Structures are given as structure tokens and as C-alpha cells.
Amino acid sequence: MSSKTSALEPLRVRIRRFQFVMGLGFVALIGGSFIGGSLRMRLSVRLSALPFEVLAVVLDSAIVNFWLLAALPLICHGAARVVELRPWSTALGAAMTGSAFLLAISTVQSGLAGLWPGGLRPVLNVVAFVVGVVLSARAVTLGRAAAARQVDKAREKAQDRKSEYDEFLRAAEAGGARLEQREAAAQSQASGPESSPSAPDTGKNTAA
């Protein structure tokens, strides 16, 4: 029974990691879409007032893909500081989770034509996907580096505390040794006057 459990443990770890990566993608999609939607509503007038339509489409696509370009890297960075994650598999899995969810919604609403409606916007979505994956992988790498620095700082603090404890222990031992020496010296001084009066008595007995 234990051998079966040990054999299934790597599979369980992979499943948990896959679920965690999917959760990162959904959280980034929900939070980023909420923020990106509010930004799009506030900037819609300014975007429509731009003189170049291509620039307006590019900026609008960047806002729509806010969850990929900003939310997902931030979430991956924060998660990597706590959990040991693989940069590229985490970034690609989370981005594919959110993108697959959006494609499923588009397919339900517009059919297969919603997968690639044509024009510049789908191309910009693909570019945003690639950029988001790269940024997320970089964020995971930076998060793991920050976590390693925190571990090193904790080790240094523990080492400093250990050295301080060792110094305190050595000082206590030295103090105890000095106290023993003082007690021994005091005992020797106290025993000296008690042994000195015996010398004159010996002299008188000899003379007699």
C-alpha cells in the first residue's frame, strides 16, 4: 500500500501544481478584466478622439488584455515568492487558462467566427498573449530570486543570533571560571591564618 502511495505522490503533486496554475490564470483574468474594463470605460472618449485609428485600436487592445500584460505578471511574481514555481510552464499554463476561457465565451456568443473575427485586433491579441507569457515567466524568475534572498537573509540572521549566543555562552563560562578562582583564592587566604599559629607551639615544644 505504501509503494502505491509513493508511486502516486508525484502525480498528485503535478495535479496540484496544475490546479494552482489554473487558479492563477482565473484570478488574473477576473481581476485584470475588472480593472481593464473600468479603464476602458474611462478612456473610451479619449481613445475615440485620437487622430490615428490604428493607435486607438492598439491602445484599446492593450487595455482589453490588461489581465495578460499586468495582472498575470504581478500575480505570478507574488505566488513565486511563496511557492516554488517553474517560470515558463507557470506563465504559459496560466495564460492559456485565461485565454481558453475567453475563447470559449466568444465561441458561445458568436460561434466559430468569434475565434478569429479578422482585422488587426486578433493579431494584437496574439502579440499580447506572447508578451504576457514572457513577462509572467520573467516575473516568476524575479519572484524566486526574491524568495531566495529572503531565505539567505533569514539564514544570516539565524547565524548572527547563534554567534551572539555563543559569545554570551563563552562570556558566562569565563565569568564562572573567574568566580571559581576568586572563591579558591578566598578559601586559601582563609586557611592561611589558621595554619600559621602552629609554628610557635612547635618551637616551644622543641625547646622544652
Number of domains in the chain: 1
Q: Flag whether pLDDT at 163 surpasses 60.
A: yes
Between 161 and 192, where is the model more confident?
161
* The pLDDT value given to residue 193: 55
Q: In the structure grid, which three cell numbers stand for residue 154, read together?
A: 533569514
In a domain, 110, yes or no: yes
In a domain, 168, yes or no: no
Domain that holds residue 97: 2-162
What is the C-alpha to C-alpha distance for residues 82 and 91, in angstroms, rounded to an integer? 16
Mean pLDDT of the chain: 81
| Mean pLDDT across 15-36 | 90
In a domain, 200, yes or no: no
Q: Flag whether pLDDT at 82 surpasses 80.
A: yes
Nearest to 48 by CA among 36, 57, 61: 57
In a domain, 186, yes or no: no
In a domain, 98, yes or no: yes
Q: Flag whether pLDDT at 204 surpasses 80.
A: no
82: number of CA atoms within 13 Å, CB side? 5
Q: Flag whether pLDDT at 93 surpasses 70.
A: yes
In a domain, 175, yes or no: no
Between 7 and 125, where is the model more confident?
125
In a domain, 9, yes or no: yes
In a domain, 178, yes or no: no
Model-wide pTM > 0.75: no
Is the separation of the CB atoms in 89 and 53 below 8 Å?
Answer: no
Asked which of 115-119, 176-180, 195-199 is least confident by mean pLDDT, the reply is 195-199
Is the separation of the CB atoms in 21 and 97 below 8 Å?
Answer: yes
